[in-house]
Every structure is written in structure tokens, then in C-alpha cells.
With several copies, the nearest count.
Chain A
């Protein structure tokens, strides 16, 4: 374990922030105030935070439809995110994008993506920029088990392999694509596939922040050293439906309850740091409290913030036209 106290606190804070953000959006969505399709990341926090831990603002990530966690882990402003989800002018995208398109280029967050598999080629492009401009930056492509079957993912892996791009493919295998189990939809083995493209690949327990971080750290180091792409297959779980409104009848009745009880990444983190005597419970509790205040504020502000104006409809299509 190579993280210092501050880093550990930051990791826990970010994971809590994601969790509470998502639990709250879930609750708010139920009131009918939040428009559109919303896909929540709760349960998968160790992935976003573990992977982004060693990234700087110069490094980039390409995210998915289930992007809130990646945004937070990459440092996006939580008020701006919440306002965006509510469609407010103060949102990170001025209300034009919504949950599925949150981006913050200044933080290296290249966007959630409504197209499954859409992000992997983009991450290759960011990696190409880094390589060509010799910035030393690394790019990460997050994608789900469903996305792993999309042709774009395969193409991006081969491209990264032959171009030796500083890119990391993170397969967040939460067991489902919509209602379809990855056990059925993913033929063979993602790790073998990646190796088939000539990419070093490992499988990691995605509930375990430390395991994720360790694997990501190696991959980041490999990328920074100019040794090309890496692939991580994280096994993890989502707690809510595919999108808000999904009844989740395809899951076992007690499945989520059991996951929350036995596999929860926050609980696991707490157990590990306390067993290792690294952080005391009070510090972690304090973080949870701070985070709650933050989220409360974000929701309050988002609800109060103004909607975009009619004139906003026509701007931002082109730089010039």
C-alpha cells in the first residue's frame, strides 16, 4: 500500500462523494424533478477512484453513459454536475448535455457518452495527442461489459496496440448490460481478447479500491514510460437499475442487498484501512458528513438555479459559421 494519509482520505472522500451523489440523484429522480435518462454508478466507486487516483488534470478519461462516478473521480465540480443533471444554465454543459454528456475538458474529462463503445476511440485520440505533443499524459477509456462487445472497442484496442499509445482500457464488468448478463453476452474472456490484440491485461476485483489502484498504477506507469496500452478487467456491481426506472426484475431478489452487505467497496475500504491502522473511523465519518453537506448544497443550488435562456438554444453549435 503506497498511498499516504492524504491520498487515502481523498480516495475515501471521492468514493463517498460518488455514492452520496448517486443515492441522492436516485431519490430526487423519483420525485420527477430530474428529466431524461439517468444511469447511476453507485457500487462501482472503487473503479473510478482507483483508476483516476494517479492521474493528473493533464491526463484524460473518456467515460460512458454511466459517467457520474468518472466525473467526480476526475475532479469535476459537483455543483456543476448536479445543475447539469437538472438542465440548468449553471450546469457544467450549460444544461445542453445532461447526465449522459457531462464533460469538463479542463479536468481532462472528455465526456460521458450516450453511445456504448463510443469512448474508446476518443481515448486513443487523446493518447495520440499526448504522444505526438510529448506531454507525458495518459488517457483512460472506461467501458462496460456490454461495450466490450462493440466493434469500436476492438478497433481501439488494436489501434492502441500497433500505435503503442499511452492508453488504458478499463472494462467495468458489472455483470449486466441493461438486463442482459455479461456471463451470456461476453463470449470467451476479455483478458484473453486484450492479449489477442497484444495488450498486457489483468483481471482485478473491482470492489477493492486497493487492487484497482495497484493495477491502474502499473498501467499508468507503463503508459508514461512509452510502453503502450494496458487493459484492466474489473469485476464489480451496480446497485441501482440500468437506468432510473428499471425494475431490475432480471436480478435475484436479494442480489443487491447481498452485494451491499458483502461486497461494498466503501465498507471494504474502511475495513482495510482500519485493519492496517491507516485511518481511524472518526476521520472517515467526518468525510461522510462533509460530503453530505456538499451534496445537499448541490441539490439545493441546482433546484434554485435558472434554466437556460431561449437564446442559448442557438449558440455553441460551431466556433464560427
Chain B
């Protein structure tokens, strides 16, 4: 075991699964790069270098650069998944989903149901999401709530290098279409990641901190912030449980219910736009199913209802932060009813 970056973890998962199963292919814009160009082949490995080296290892027949034509190649990935391959398609930034969403939500997601169960669509769509990169409104969105909304899709959001490798291998071996969200600010984060392949199950939450006072649920990069907040709060004598659900669809609501029943207090941290997002989804499910256990209002830590601004001065205050999570936890500790 060695320290690996999130980028390396993703790359390793792809490489190991491609080695294991010849049906796994990778496709997307510049996933290798340099095609038709006079210089270096495999020049890019995606804009942030995540798939670099795969083409040299597996050749251009299994690492396919595409024209800029997301409906075309995401649809082709769906069609290929329906007919014997296990494609991992690269949607680069999830913000681009608007040019190809139909192939995802009306085609890949619905094949199995529309066709009466006969299809399987082992498709993975990897995509970058999230703010902090100063990439402005069209390259900073989260949008996983849109995919979570759609029956037939699975949605994974790894929060660390270890999670990324295990969840991506699971995604590739999974027989349903999976949208795999990689936060672009996590790529350089490092932690211990086993060298051998392993899977992390979908729909099983991970508890990254345990404490009796408040339950915090967070996704992707927000898990890091929630852990930091929990550490800081521990200093104030507030003990937090931090839940990383790993996947929003399926969602391990049972674990969240259980923890909320124990703490009676819930804060949900979601980097996505605030309306109809995962914070509302979890709050609502808990308010419906663990109402009696709640000792204080559920708090949602989310950005305001605005596009993601470009200027660092604005983006920094736009995003959920450790401070905002700490405040929310303090607020749920302050208010509310006694233990039942």
C-alpha cells in the first residue's frame, strides 16, 4: 500500500479493470490525446491528466479519443454497453450533460425497464464536477441531483482516493449505468490506497467520524470539509457522526436513519444548487421516517440559488465551507427539543 492521489487512484482503477476484462473500454475527448497530431501520442490523458498512460497500455482500440460530440459518443457508449462492451465514457465536465442528457436519461437509464427487463447496460460515465477551480458558471456545477432524480441510473460520488478506486471498480463491474462524479479539487489529494483491486459497495454509507451529538451527511469533497468541521467541533465538545453515503442512488437511507435516531440531530452538506438537491432529498426522507427522533430542525448547508460565480472573491463565499458547517452544527445543538 502506498500514498496515491485521487487522480492516480482513478487511473489505477481503470487500468486494473481494463487488464482484467477485455470488454472494458475507455472513450472520450482527448482521453489519450494527440490523435492525428504530429507530436506526442497520448499527449493529454484528459484535460487534467487522469487517463494518461492508459492508451499506451491498452492501445487506441480500447482507449478511444472522440470528436467533440457528446450525444454521439455517450450514446455510442450506451449502445456498446447494450451489445457486449463495458464502456467507461468520459463526460469531462458534468456541466456538458446538457448536450447529451437524452442518451443518458431516456436511453441508457430506461433500456432495462422499457424493454421489459431484457437489457443490461454496464455503462460508466465519469465526469468532473464542483467548484473551487475558478472555472465559472459552465464548468463548476455539481448536478448530481439531476441524475439522482432519474430512475435507472446509479450515481457515485467518491470523497477520497481510497473511495475513488473502490467505487470506480464497483461501477465498472456493475451491470447498471453509473454516473461517476469526480470533484476536480480532489485530484491532488493523497491517501493510502491498496495496490490490488477492490470494490466498495453501492448503497452502503461510510462513517468517517462517529459521535453522539449530531449527524452530518455530506457528499464528495464536502465529506472532507465535514470531517474538518467535526474535528474542530470536537474541540468544543460537540461529537459528530459524519456519513459519506458514497452513492446518492442507491442511497443508504437506513444508515442515516439509524444515526439520526441515535443523535436526534442532522446537518446535510450539499455543494449542489439548493433546490431539489440531495440535501432536500435526505432531509425529506428523514423528516418523513425519523420525525419522532429529531430533536432539532434539520439544517442544510448549501450554496445560494445562483449560478457559480467566477471571481475568487465570490466563489469562496458561494461554496459551503468548514465554517458554515460548524455554524450549522452549533445551531442544531442550540435549538431543538430534549431527548425523547
Contact = CB atoms under 8 A, between A and B. Distances in A.
B197 interface: no
B98 to A, nearest CB: 8
A88 B311 contact: yes
B39 interface: yes
A114 B68 contact: no
Contacts of A159: 66-67, 69, 72-73, 76
A261 interface: no
A186 B68 CA distance: 10
10 contacts: A93-B114, A100-B136, A101-B310, A104-B118, A125-B85, A139-B79, A178-B30, A181-B35, A184-B36, A317-B151
Contact of A97 (B77, B96, B107, B136): B136
B307 to A, nearest CB: 7
B44 interface: yes
Given A100-B138, A125-B76, 11 more contacts: A36-B134, A96-B136, A97-B116, A118-B106, A124-B76, A125-B82, A163-B64, A179-B35, A251-B37, A318-B154, A321-B176
B75 A121 contact: yes
B106 A124 contact: no
B114 A103 contact: yes
Q: From DSSP, what is the main secondary structure of chain B's interface residues?
A: loop
Contact of A121 (B39, B62, B79): B79
Interface in B113-130: 113-120
Contacts of A151: 69, 71-72, 99
B309 A96 contact: yes
B317 interface: yes
Interface string A231-261: 0000000000001000111111101000000
Interface of A: 35-37, 60, 62, 87-89, 91-98, 100-101, 103-106, 110-111, 113-118, 120-126, 128-130, 132-133, 135, 139, 146-147, 149-152, 155-156, 158-159, 162-163, 176-187, 243, 247-253, 255, 307-308, 310, 312-321
B39 A118 contact: no
B17 interface: no
A310 B315 CA distance: 10
A251 B38 contact: yes
Contacts of B304: 313-314
Given A91-B116, A105-B119, A125-B75, A133 B84 contact: yes
A95 B112 contact: no
B69 A95 contact: no
Given A125-B75, A150-B68, A36 B135 contact: yes
Contacts of B112: 316-319
**Nearest 8 A/B pairs, CB to CB:** A125-B79, A121-B75, A184-B36, A155-B72, A181-B36, A98-B310, A114-B138, A94-B116
